[in-house]
Amino acid sequence: MESLKIRGLRCGEPGGRSPDWRLVLALSAMVALLPAVRAVAAEGAELQLEIWKSQHRMELRRGAELLREFDVAVGLVPEGTKQRRGDKRTPVGDYYVAEKHRSGRFHRFLGISYPNIDDADRAYDTGLISAGEWAGIFAAIADGDEPASGTQLGGRIGIHGYGPRPYIPALDWTDGCIAVSNEDAEYLYTTVPVGTRVRIHD
């Protein structure tokens, strides 16, 4: 990526601000990755998780049908969307469940696709990440994977349980994740497939 030039912009140099190279890269990647995108979308198409941070509420729906509501805790700084690593904010926007695993610390963990393209665009336009890092995030999203967490945007954001921590609903305590009771985390882990849409509101 460091040697790729499109209309005079060298990828990796944050000085250029023309979006043209991103459009070219996006179109090329979408053509190559379309089968994978369709497969991930099909797997989680029926379900959607929607979260309202200020209300400490999450819903799981299948189409218009409400399946279950959850009390949630969010990041220690609850207002606004996540901007960078370590800011203790929970992101706001449209994501998907990118992976799931068991966790001794959090009981069950459903990783979401933070940062998304909007997060990456904002970070690139302010010089927080390089063009190469932007391209890596885009490729992960296009392929239905979890974006790398090594940029200044941070990562490893997900929906998880409290683990051994005492369960106190609506008391915000996470580093940016969405916390539910261990019982609810178990339910989500067994019910929600990778690819499920996740929409987060302030």
The pLDDT score that the predictor gives to residue 124 is: 96
Token pair recorded at residue 131: 């063009």
Give strand ranges (E) for the chain.
5-6, 9-10, 47-52, 57-62, 65-71, 93-103, 107-112, 158-160, 178-179, 197-201
For the stretch 169-198, pLDDT in tens is 889 999 999 999 999 999 999 999 999 999
The pLDDT score that the predictor gives to residue 24 is: 55
- pLDDT interval class at 58 (50, 70, 90): very high
Q: Which CATH number fits domain 46-114+155-201: 3.30.930.10, 2.40.440.10, 1.20.120.1460, 3.30.70.260?
A: 2.40.440.10
Token pair recorded at residue 79: 């207002």
Domain ranges of the chain: 1-43+128-144, 46-114+155-201
Question: Phi/psi at 48 (nearest 5 deg)?
Answer: -145, 140
Q: Give the predicted TM-score (pTM) of the model.
A: 0.80
* SS3 label, residue 42: helix
For the stretch 21-30, pLDDT in tens is 666 565 555 5
Distance, in Å, from the CA atom of 144 to the CA atom of 139, rounded to the nearest integer, reads 9
Give the mean pLDDT of 53-78: 97
Distance, in Å, from the CA atom of 2 to the CA atom of 35, rounded to the nearest integer, reads 27
Distance, in Å, from the CA atom of 87 to the CA atom of 90, rounded to the nearest integer, reads 9
The pLDDT score that the predictor gives to residue 20 is: 55
**Range of weakest confidence among 13-17, 61-65, 135-139, 174-178:** 13-17
Q: Is 165 exposed, middle or buried (0-12, 13-18, 19+ CB in 10 A)?
A: middle
Per DSSP bridges, beta strands 197-201 and 178-179 are: unpaired
The answer on pLDDT for 16 being more than 50 is: no
The answer on pLDDT for 3 being more than 50 is: no
Token pair recorded at residue 85: 């690593």
The pLDDT score that the predictor gives to residue 11 is: 42
For the stretch 115-137, pLDDT in tens is 999 999 999 999 999 999 999 99
The pLDDT score that the predictor gives to residue 21 is: 60
109 or 8, higher pLDDT:
109
Check: CB of residue 17 under 8 Å from CB of residue 166: no
